[in-house]
């Protein structure tokens, strides 16, 4: 259809819609002449008030007659069928007459005179097509008397004859009901023949598709209909069509006997829109679930970016952004800045635009937002319906529709999510709003988790007192520096230092003065270093310094001298004037060692040589300082197993709620025939370096399992034993086979064996670690993460690896005090453990204050010197028997014992 044809067609349709045939009844009753337009598809007549046309006479029945509209394919060619009685076949008492002839039903013609119940008369009048305004004018100004009594030449004379139904002897009522159904049906019905000619339209079709007679087979209801019938194997079909902006389901019935195609059309627009809404809701729900899962499984800001992309695609929006609240640096006013943004490829990002950063909530375009969002009320609107100040700002980003949902973190208004439609106007539903509230809650949870992880991560890598890097972060930076130095053939310097006679200050002035002094020392040390250098608190009064890029040994010596000079000035702390000096040992890569551990050991050796030569000095490492001692120790270590010089000590793990010993940790000790008891800190690194740790570790595993079985045989059960695995042990290819063989040979229940590994070991090769740990768990062995908080402290690793227990490192317990950062960290770890269904054990509990703090934080299992030092087998057996005897005591006494660690000390 050309543009001109279309314009002509629209004009004709408009005219046809404005003008249509009109029909009316003019009644003569006790109220006079009453004009009733016949505009509906059916009319009921009778004295009952429920009828559409009420007859005011007792001579007529309650349901006296029916008028049914009868149409053809021409919308203006229609009339009415008069039926005596109702659709159920119940006749009226006094019947009906048309032009004086009594009948049961009659197709009315213009000027027919109707008699109802012998008293009520009515003239049926057909009026030429008129518009609504013209018909109203006609009815208002019509000469009713003249219309009711027309000239004799206009009177319709019908000879008395029986109705067609009576002639055929058919049951009239069912046929009338059948004939009336299409006329009164609210659904459009139509009929065509095989030549494509329109043979019937019911009133609903005329009303719904006024252009159908003009368009014919080009109309969507008829287009392709003949081809569909010709190619189909069945006579009954259903298809969906679209007419204008509505959707319909078309039921098609081909009557082959009469070569007619009858159709009934049902408006399914609302159903389709509802289905589309349901599909969109389902997509949104799925995207929220997917995004939430992603946020739970991943950490960092990249996870939020990915979650926004998932949500944006599902929601069908053009842009999603997250804005965070903060204070303006100059005024302190509450403000907001965009922090995250996702856009479609065709939409321009706005995150870097000035009006999206550092925007005060006092600004006119944000003042209303602040009050609504703090009350957790969303903002959803077409931009054109918003206040002018808001329109002005949003128009800069080409936003047509917007939905803003608040983000609440820890019961505080943290910020908000904005969803933008920039290419079309869209009205957000309440259902979509509630789904996006769920997404806001997921982002809130992710942000809370991220904040907690940042706290844990910072505390894991920094000293709680001085906020300097701790030994874990120092070691990490040292590893990176050595790798870079190896690539670029450069030198690295490591310094080990401690404060001279610091213990005297602690003992005389108290620990609080000592702590403040350490903070001041840390500040002066930082001032002595270049950008890129690192100073860390190693522990107590010990510090380490990393100089990752030096050109010569002189650079390291000069830095050491600056540190010595910086500490010469007095420290004034609470009116006390304190003077401290430091001793420094220096080791240089690669001359003094090519591994971090060796460099630190050699720097430590140089430190003690510095003290021997007078405090307040520095010494470079010299290989002659410890070569003989190292060689003797390593040589002795190689024969220690054969000579049975190793023994195991056991330290109890205690449930502080019950006082019961729930397990033991096996710790290896070396009883050298000449040097006496050698510290594990001395011989374990040598064993690791030489590979003897593998053989030693298997001995520890077997000996501990054998001893646990002996205790079980004494009735001391259940009782688990925990064994530390070194990195070399863990990554040996036959670890699982060794553990299985030891369990089988000793007869220990696998559930009573717990293997401890550190975070660093686990994440060195995450896939290998995952495989090994799952295989161990399949044996029934329990797995514990040791020293949690000193390594990566990643929830992702905890989720991937099958741990049963988390052991909080003793570095967090040492300075544990109410309202300290350590308390916050421990509380977070305990909550984390409970959330992941893990046991939590606190190590290094040495005093009552720490115990009470842990009790208040709901940490049930502890380990430390407060309860017992690591003890030999005999002493451990004694305290186990005493503890098992304690379990037979009445509950009140047991509770007292649980509150006091005295039975184990």
Residues 835-844, mean pLDDT to the nearest whole number: 90
- Scan for tokens 């203006």, then name that residue: 76
- State residue 224's pLDDT score: 92
Q: Are strands 120-130 and 101-103 parallel, antiparallel or unpaired?
A: unpaired
SS (H, E, C) 56-108: CCCCCCCCCEEEEEECCCCCCCCEEEEEECCCCCCCCCCCEEECCEEECEEEC
pTM: 0.39
- Which of the pair, 182 or 644, is modelled with greater confidence? 644
Mean pLDDT of 635-643: 83
Q: Are 729 and 697 in contact (CB under 8 A)?
A: yes
Of the candidates 95, 89, 242, which has an alpha carbon nearest to the alpha carbon of residue 174? 89
Residue 352 confidence (pLDDT) above 80: yes
pLDDT confidence bin for 504, thresholds 50/70/90? confident
pLDDT tens for each residue of 877-891: 999 999 998 887 765
CA dist 449 and 220 (Å) reads 57
Residue bearing the bigger pLDDT, 300 or 50: 50
Give the separation between CA 563 and CA 548, rounded to whole angstroms. 17
| Distance between CA atoms of residues 641 and 43, nearest Å | 111
Closest by CA to 645, choosing from 673, 665, 619, 623, is 673
H or E element in which residue 22 lies: strand 20-29
* Top-confidence residue, 180 or 779: 779
**pLDDT tens digit string along 193-239?**
999 888 888 888 888 898 998 899 999 999 999 999 999 888 889 99
What pLDDT digit, counting tens, does each position of 812-827 carry? 887 788 777 778 888 8
Task: Choose among 111, 304, 12, 72: nearest CA to 201.
Answer: 72
pLDDT of residue 625: 65
Mean pLDDT, residues 278-286: 75
**Best mean pLDDT range from 474-478, 624-628, 890-894:** 474-478
Q: How many residues does the structure list for the chain?
A: 905
Identify the CA nearest to 563 among candidates 585, 595, 531, 589. 585
CA count, 13 A, side-chain hemisphere, 896 = 4
Rounded to an integer, the average pLDDT of 833-858 is 90
CA angle 56, 58, 63 (to 5 degrees): 80
Alpha-carbon distance of 249 to 807, in angstroms, equals 66
Nearest to 486 by CA among 548, 554, 534: 548
Highest mean pLDDT among 324-328, 455-459, 760-764: 324-328
Give per-residue pLDDT as tens, 738-768.
999 999 999 999 999 999 998 778 777 888 8
First to last CA, the chain: 101
Residue 204 or 870, more confident: 870
307 vs 183, higher pLDDT: 307
pLDDT surpassing 90 at residue 455: no
pLDDT higher at 158 or 689: 689
507 or 52: which carries more pLDDT confidence? 52
* Residue with the larger pLDDT of the pair 234 and 184: 234
What does the DSSP 8-state code read for residue 570? P
Q: What is the pLDDT of residue 663?
A: 95
Q: What is the DSSP letter of 469?
A: B
Beta strands 753-758; 32-37: pairing state? unpaired
Q: Are 756 and 776 in contact (CB under 8 A)?
A: no
Q: In the 8-state DSSP scheme, what is residue 51?
A: S
DSSP, collapsed to helix, strand or coil, labels residue 9 as helix
Q: What are 570-627's pLDDT values in tens digits? A: 899 988 888 888 999 999 999 988 999 999 989 988 887 787 666 788 989 887 666 4
Averaged pLDDT for residues 868-881? 94
Contact 439, 431 (CB under 8 A): no
Burial code (b: 16+ CB inside 10 Å, e: under 16) for 696-720 equals: bbbebbbbbbebbbebbeeebeebb
pLDDT, position 780: 95
Mean of pLDDT over the chain: 85
Q: How far is the C-alpha of 507 from the C-alpha of 515, rounded, in Å? A: 12
- Give me the helices (H) in 169-268, please: 172-184, 203-208, 212-215, 225-231
Q: How confident is residue 465, by pLDDT bands cut at 50, 70 and 90? A: very high
3-state class (DSSP) for residue 747: coil
What is the pLDDT, as a whole number, of residue 903?
44
Pick from 496, 565, 499, 570: which is nearest to 535 by CA?
496
Question: Residue 789: what pLDDT?
Answer: 66
- Is the C-alpha dihedral spanning 404, 409, 413, 415 positive or negative? negative
Instruction: Decide if pLDDT at 310 tops 50.
Output: yes
For range 671-679, the mean pLDDT: 83
More reliable by pLDDT, 476 or 162: 476
- In three-state secondary structure terms, 824 is helix
- The Cα 641–Cα 695 span in angstroms is 9
Q: Residue 629 CB: number of other CB atoms within 10 A?
A: 11
**Residue 163 clears pLDDT 60, i.e. is over it:** no
Share of the chain above pLDDT 70, in %: 89
The contacts of residue 828 (CB under 8 Å, 6+ apart) are 452, 455, 456
pLDDT, position 880: 94
What is the pLDDT, as a whole number, of residue 162?
A: 47
Angle separating helix axes 692-713 and 873-886, nearest 10 degrees: 40
- 505: tokens are 């200050």
* SS3 state of residue 313: helix
pLDDT(502) > 60: yes
pLDDT tens track for 78-129: 888 898 987 667 889 889 999 999 988 888 999 999 999 888 999 999 998 8
């Amino acid at each position: 259809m050309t543009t001109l044809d279309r314009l002509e067609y629209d004009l004709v349709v408009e005219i046809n819609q404005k003008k249509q045939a009109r029909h009316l009844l003019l009644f003569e009753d006790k109220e006079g002449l009453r004009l009733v337009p016949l505009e509906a598809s059916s009319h009921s007549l009778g004295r009952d008030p429920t009828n559409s046309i009420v007859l005011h006479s007792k001579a007529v029945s309650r349901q006296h007659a029916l008028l049914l509209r009868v149409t053809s394919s021409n919308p203006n060619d229609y009339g009415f069928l008069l039926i005596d009685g109702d659709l159920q076949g119940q006749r009226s008492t006094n019947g009906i007459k048309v032009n004086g002839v009594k009948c049961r039903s009659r197709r009315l013609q213009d000027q027919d005179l109707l008699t109802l119940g012998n008293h009520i008369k009515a003239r049926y009048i057909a009026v030429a097509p008129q518009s609504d305004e013209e018909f109203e004018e006609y009815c208002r100004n019509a000469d009713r008397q003249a219309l009711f009594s027309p000239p004799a030449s206009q009177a319709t004379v019908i000879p008395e004859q029986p109705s067609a139904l009576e002639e055929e002897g058919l049951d009239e009522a069912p046929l009338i009901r059948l004939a009336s159904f299409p006329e009164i049906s609210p659904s459009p019905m139509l009929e065509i023949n095989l030549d494509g000619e329109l043979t019937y339209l019911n009133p609903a079709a005329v009303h719904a598709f006024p252009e159908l007679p003009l368009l014919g087979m080009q109309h969507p209801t008829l287009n392709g209909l003949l081809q569909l019938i010709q190619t189909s194997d069945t006579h009954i079909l259903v298809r969906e069509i679209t007419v204008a902006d509505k959707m319909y389901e078309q039921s098609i019935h081909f009557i082959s006997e009469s070569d007619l195609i009858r159709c009934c059309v049902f408006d399914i627009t609302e159903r389709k829109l509802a289905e589309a809404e349901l599909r969109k809701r389902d997509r949104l729900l799925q995207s929220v679930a997917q995004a939430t899962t992603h946020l739970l499984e991943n950490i960092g800001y990249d996870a939020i970016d990915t979650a926004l992309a998932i949500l944006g695609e599902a929601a069908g929006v053009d842009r999603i952004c997250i804005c965070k609240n903060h204070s303006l640096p100059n005024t302190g006013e509450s403000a907001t800045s965009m922090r995250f943004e996702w856009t479609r490829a065709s939409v321009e990002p706005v995150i870097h635009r000035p009006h999206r950063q550092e925007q005060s909530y006092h600004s006119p375009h944000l003042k209303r937002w602040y009050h609504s969002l703090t009350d957790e009320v969303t903002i959803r609107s077409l931009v054109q319906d918003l206040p002018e100040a808001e329109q002005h700002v949003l128009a800069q980003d080409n936003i047509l529709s917007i939905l803003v949902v608040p983000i609440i973190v820890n019961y505080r208004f943290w910020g908000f999510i904005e969803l933008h439609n920039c290419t079309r106007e869209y009205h957000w539903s309440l259902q979509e709003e509630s789904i996006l509230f769920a997404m806001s809650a997921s982002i809130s949870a992710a942000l809370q988790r991220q904040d907690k992880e940042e706290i844990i991560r910072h505390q894991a890598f920094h000293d709680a007192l001085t906020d300097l890097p701790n030994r874990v972060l120092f070691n990490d930076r040292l590893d990176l520096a050595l790798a870079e130095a190896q690539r670029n053939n450069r030198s690295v310097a490591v310094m080990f230092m401690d404060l001279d006679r610091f213990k005297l200050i602690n003992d005389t002035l108290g620990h609080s003065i000592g702590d403040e002094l350490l903070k001041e020392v840390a500040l002066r040390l930082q001032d002595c270093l270049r950008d890129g250098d690192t100073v860390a608190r190693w522990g107590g009064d010990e510090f380490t310094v990393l100089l990752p890029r030096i050109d010569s040994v002189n650079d390291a010596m000069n830095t050491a001298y600056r540190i010595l000079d910086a500490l010469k000035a007095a420290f004034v702390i609470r009116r006390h004037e304190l003077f401290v000096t430091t001793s420094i040992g220096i080791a240089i890569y690669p001359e003094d060692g090519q591994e971090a551990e060796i460099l630190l050991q050699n720097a430590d050796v140089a430190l003690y040589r510095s003290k021997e030569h007078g405090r307040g000095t520095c010494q470079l490492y010299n290989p002659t300082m410890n070569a003989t001692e190292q060689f003797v120790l390593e040589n002795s270590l190689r024969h220690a197993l054969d000579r049975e010089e190793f023994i195991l000590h056991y330290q109890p793990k205690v449930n502080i709620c019950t006082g019961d010993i729930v397990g033991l940790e096996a710790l290896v000790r070396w009883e050298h025939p000449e040097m006496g008891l050698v510290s594990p800190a001395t011989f374990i690194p040598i064993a690791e370096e030489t590979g003897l740790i593998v053989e030693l570790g298997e001995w520890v595993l077997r000996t501990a399992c054998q001893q646990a079985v002996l205790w079980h045989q004494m009735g001391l059960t259940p009782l688990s034993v925990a064994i530390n695995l070194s990195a070399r042990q863990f990554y040996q290819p036959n670890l699982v086979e060794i553990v299985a063989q030891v369990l089988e040979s000793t007869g220990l229940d696998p559930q009573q064996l717990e293997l401890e590994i550190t975070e660093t070991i686990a994440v060195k090769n995450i896939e290998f670690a995952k495989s090994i740990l799952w295989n161990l768990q399949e044996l029934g062995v329990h797995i514990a993460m040791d020293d949690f908080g000193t390594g990566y402290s990643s929830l992702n690793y905890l989720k991937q690896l099958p741990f049963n227990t988390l052991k909080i490192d003793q570095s967090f317990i040492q300075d544990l005090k109410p309202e300290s950062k350590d308390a916050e960290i421990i509380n977070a770890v305990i909550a984390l453990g409970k959330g992941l269904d893990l046991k939590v054990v606190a190590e290094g509990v040495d005093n009552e204050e720490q115990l009470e703090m842990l009790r208040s934080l709901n940490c049930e299992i502890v380990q430390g010197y407060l309860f017992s030092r690591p003890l030999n087998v005999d002493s451990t057996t004694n305290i186990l028997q005493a503890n098992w005897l304690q379990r037979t005591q009445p509950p009140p006494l047991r509770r007292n014992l649980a509150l006091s660690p005295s039975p184990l000390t």
